[in-house]
């Protein structure tokens, strides 16, 4: 099988559980380290899918790598190459496909349930789940929906938590790729941001890191559903 192209935008926001899932299914992957200055491919020859991870920057920042990444997302969607975006990645997808990204009404940091908004559109990705599902959040911005996309998840603080497009692409505001190690790292590196926030959607580090093994195991069950559907679209 051709590899999945994984974009990392910050050294602390690696692919986490996503590449663990790919390895479990024998799917090769190739990391593009935007934070380390790796070249952005101009074509997707020999690539089966595109994955975009998170990052502390804004899609609206004047950064030289953003326009070519947006162009690559549009190229992938046009070519029916599956794209998946986590947080900033979901925002990049939305922006590339004609939506807007701006400040969220409430900043979210920590654990919070997500709920299905469209059962029919969500079923291929989430099965017949009806109860709220735990997800991880760390964002101060959010996206509107791209033309043709269908919203499938929301949270108490953010209406657009996930959207799907053409049964092949999914953009998420939430993080389903988290591991205990990633969470501990983010809490350490993001302590100042947490302490400076008065948002009701922001949890303190000790609350975020409580019972992480159980919480991440639950999170990975949600990730397994989403990722299992996504890899069905990968080309051989």
Q: What is the pLDDT of residues 82-136, one digit of tens each?
A: 999 999 999 999 999 999 999 999 999 999 999 999 999 999 999 987 789 999 9
Task: Please tell me the predicted confidence (pLDDT) of residue 130.
Answer: 75
164 found inside a domain = yes
Tens of pLDDT, residues 31-50? 999 999 999 999 999 999 99
Mean pLDDT of the chain: 96
- In the numeric block, which tokens belong to residue 73? 């997302």
Find the length of the chain: 236
Distance CA 116, CA 173 (A): 14
Neighbouring CB atoms inside 10 A of 141's CB total 17
- Whether the per-residue pLDDT at 51 is higher than 80: the answer is yes
Task: Please tell me the predicted confidence (pLDDT) of residue 216.
Answer: 97
Q: How many domains does the chain have?
A: 1
- Domain limits for position 147: 4-231
Please state the pTM of the whole predicted model.
0.97
236 found inside a domain = no
Whether residue 168 contacts residue 82, with contact meaning beta carbons closer than 8 Å, is answered with: yes
**Which CATH number characterizes residue 225's domain?**
3.40.50.880
- Whether the per-residue pLDDT at 236 is higher than 70: the answer is no
Least confident of 128-137, 153-162, 176-185: 128-137
Distance CA 8, CA 36 (A): 9
Distance CA 49, CA 14 (A): 17
Distance CA 5, CA 63 (A): 20
pLDDT, mean of residues 71-76: 98
Tens of pLDDT, residues 4-16? 999 999 999 999 9
Distance CA 208, CA 15 (A): 20
């Amino acid at each position: 099988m051709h590899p999945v192209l994984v974009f990392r935008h910050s050294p602390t926001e690696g692919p986490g559980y996503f590449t663990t899932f790919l390895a479990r299914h024998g799917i090769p992957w190739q990391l593009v380290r935007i934070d380390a200055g790796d070249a952005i491919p101009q074509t997707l020859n020999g690539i089966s899918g595109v994955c975009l991870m998170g990052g502390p920057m804004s899609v609206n920042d004047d950064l030289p790598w953003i326009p070519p990444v947006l162009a690559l997302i549009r190229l992938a969607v046009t070519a029916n190459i599956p794209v998946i975006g986590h947080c900033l990645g979901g925002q990049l997808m939305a922006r590339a496909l004609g939506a807007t990204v701006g400040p969220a009404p409430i900043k979210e940091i920590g654990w919070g349930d997500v709920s299905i908004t469209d059962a029919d559109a969500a079923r291929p990705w989430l099965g017949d789940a009806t109860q709220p599902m735990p997800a991880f959040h760390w964002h101060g911005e959010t996206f509107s929906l791209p033309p043709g996309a269908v919203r499938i998840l929301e949270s108490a603080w953010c209406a657009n938590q996930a959207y799907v497009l053409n049964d092949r692409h999914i953009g998420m505001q939430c993080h389903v790729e988290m591991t205990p190690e990633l969470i501990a790292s983010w809490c350490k590196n993001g302590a100042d941001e947490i302490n400076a926030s008065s948002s009701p959607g922001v949890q303190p580090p000790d609350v975020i890191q409580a019972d992480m093994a159980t919480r991440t195991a639950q999170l990975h069950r949600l990730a397994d559903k989403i990722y299992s559907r996504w890899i069905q679209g990968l080309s051989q």
